[in-house]
Amino acid sequence: MQLLDGKSLSQTIKEELKTEVDAIRQAAGKIPHLAAVLVGDDPASQVYVRNKVRSCEEVGFRSSLIRRPATISQEELLEVVETLNDDPDVDGFIVQLPLPAHLDEDAINLAISPQKDVDGFTPVNIGRMTLGLEAYLPATPNGIMVLLERYGIETSGKEVVVLGRSNIVGTPMTILLSRKRQPGNATVTLCHSRTRDLAAHCRRADILIAAIGIPEMVTADMVKEGAVIIDVGINRVDDSSRKRGYRLAGDVDFESVKAKASAITPVPGGVGPMTIVSLMMNTLKASQAK
């Protein structure tokens, strides 16, 4: 069984990005600048944003963190987005999700300039991706594609099952893996909460991508011998034996599944670091597009 170590690979890619940024600095060029908007005090969001800012520092990017209270109005947040759209020094920015319930995430997303959409969520970038045109790809699916490519996982002609149909991971994942390129050329099945006999679909998969948000839902009896398992989930599970009172678990029961898998991502340390490094890659691309 091969461990698909996203943490280690992301460090390698960060070193590659740092080399590029050092060359840009020596040539007196534009240093990439990523901004992040954090609304409220959600603990998980604070951790994600802190990791993104730290990654920027590691590769030599400039970073800005814009904090706003959870009580911010829709109009006020739209003004923040518009200010970042108009700031020529900011190459790309993200609005960290989820937002407080009174805010319209779709409206905020639609307000982000496609040229600065380094999370790859706006309709323009999703549409260009669907057509196979140059685009800022969604960070998590693109991170998975890079992981598959760098570890030499063959996707052409393979049966891929994606669990979860979110616009952030599941749906774009199916598009990227079915495109006529490498990695890609796979036969992809998208499963979700209404799928009948989910386990039967999973057992057909040469590559199984779990992004359904249910802790350890995928068990060994659902996995074909020799399958490649990509676990996108990151869930807090109560655990009184741990000092912090919980443990992190993926959507896959790692301990039971690893014996059958030919390759598998851990949680944490698998897809998560690749999502962040994909965001870095998009930011460098946005900086060079000017």
Q: At what angle do helices 271-288 and 139-150 cross, to 10 degrees?
A: 110
In the chain, DSSP finds a helix count (H) and a strand count (E) of 10, 11
Is 119 a catalytic site residue? yes
- Which residue stretches of the chain are H helix? 6-26, 43-59, 74-86, 105-111, 123-130, 139-150, 170-178, 198-203, 254-257, 271-288
Contact 235, 215 (CB under 8 A): yes
Q: How far is it, in rounded angstroms, from Cα 120 to Cα 132?
A: 14
Is 288 a catalytic site residue? no
Q: In this structure, what is the dihedral angle of CA atoms 13, 14, 15, 21, given to the nearest 10 degrees?
A: 120
Token pair in block for residue 30: 């534009």
Is 96 a catalytic site residue? yes
Maximum CA extent, the chain: 58
Residue of 91, 117, 119, 231 marked active site: 119
Residue type, 90: V
Contact 262, 230 (CB under 8 A): no
Residue of 96, 117, 158, 206 marked active site: 96
Residues β-bridged to residue 159: 187
181 is in an annotated binding site: no
143 is in an annotated binding site: no
Q: How far is it, in rounded angstroms, from Cα 285 to Cα 57?
A: 17
234 is in an annotated binding site: yes
What DSSP designation does 14 have? H
Q: How far is it, in rounded angstroms, from Cα 32 to Cα 20?
A: 11
Q: How far is it, in rounded angstroms, from Cα 126 to Cα 282?
A: 14
Residue of 52, 116, 117, 253 marked active site: 52
Q: In this structure, what is the dihedral angle of CA atoms 270, 275, 278, 279, given to the nearest 10 degrees?
A: -150
Annotated binding site: 164-166, 234
Q: Residues with catalytic annotation? A: 52, 96, 119
Annotated binding site for NADP(+): 164-166, 234
